[in-house]
Structure 1
Amino acid sequence: MATAVETTFHGITLTEYDDLLRRLEFRPGGASEPGCLFHFATPTEDGFRGIDVWESTEAFDRFVRERLGPVLEHLGIASPEVRVTEVHNYLIASPDRRGGPVR
């Protein structure tokens, strides 16, 4: 079941977020982690918030354990607040929208 994950980082600048992406070998507008259907980040008053939809909670947990957690530890960044919710539905861009919406 798809899972929405909201991660809120306090005391982190968007420049530090960009560095975190680079260290995880991601680039803006590029491919995401296997199992992550999409990701976006927004600034907050004291940091940033990432919003993801993952194929499963297990896929997110694996990413945190194997990739994100070690990089955060190396950079001395505290773990974020995490909120996980079950996704009822999500939509993605279609490479071919010639048919248009069903009426």
Structure 2
Amino acid sequence: MAIAVIMDFSGGKLEDYDKVVERIGLAPRGPGAAGGLFHWVAATEDGARIVDVWQTREQADEFYQNTLGPVTAELGIQPPEMSYFDVHNFQTAGPEA
């Protein structure tokens, strides 16, 4: 079952997010991590919010523990508040007009 994950980084900065993305070898608007279905990030009033949709909870956990976690710790970024949701439905990009 697909899983959505919301990560709220209190005090987080989009510049830090950009450093993490570069460090783990992903590119803005490029393909995501294996198992990832959708990803977005935005500034909030007190930091940054990332929302991911994954094929499975196991894929999400593996990525966060083995890829994202070590890089954010190395850069001194505090762990986010995380919320998980079972996804009832999701849609992909539609045809271009």
Q: CA deviation at 1:10?
A: 1.2
Gaps of 5+ in 1: 98-103
Q: CA RMSD in A?
A: 1.3
> TM-score, with normalisation over the residues of structure 2?
0.93
Number of residue pairs matched by the alignment: 96
Q: CA deviation at 1:47?
A: 1.2
Q: CA deviation at 1:2?
A: 0.2
Gaps of 5+ in 2: none
Q: For residue 80 of structure 1, what is the amino acid of its counterpart?
A: P
Matched, 1:28 2:35: no
Q: CA deviation at 1:16?
A: 1.0
Tell me which residue corresponds to 1:17: 17
| In structure 1, distance between residues paired with 2:68 and 2:7 | 12
After TM superposition, the runs of 4+ consecutive aligned structure 1 residues lying more than 2 A away are none
Tell me which residue corresponds to 1:82: 82
Tell me which residue corresponds to 1:72: 72
| In structure 2, distance between residues paired with 1:85 and 1:3 | 6
| In structure 1, distance between residues paired with 2:45 and 2:24 | 24
Tell me which residue corresponds to 1:43: 43
Q: CA deviation at 1:69?
A: 0.6
Q: CA deviation at 1:20?
A: 1.1
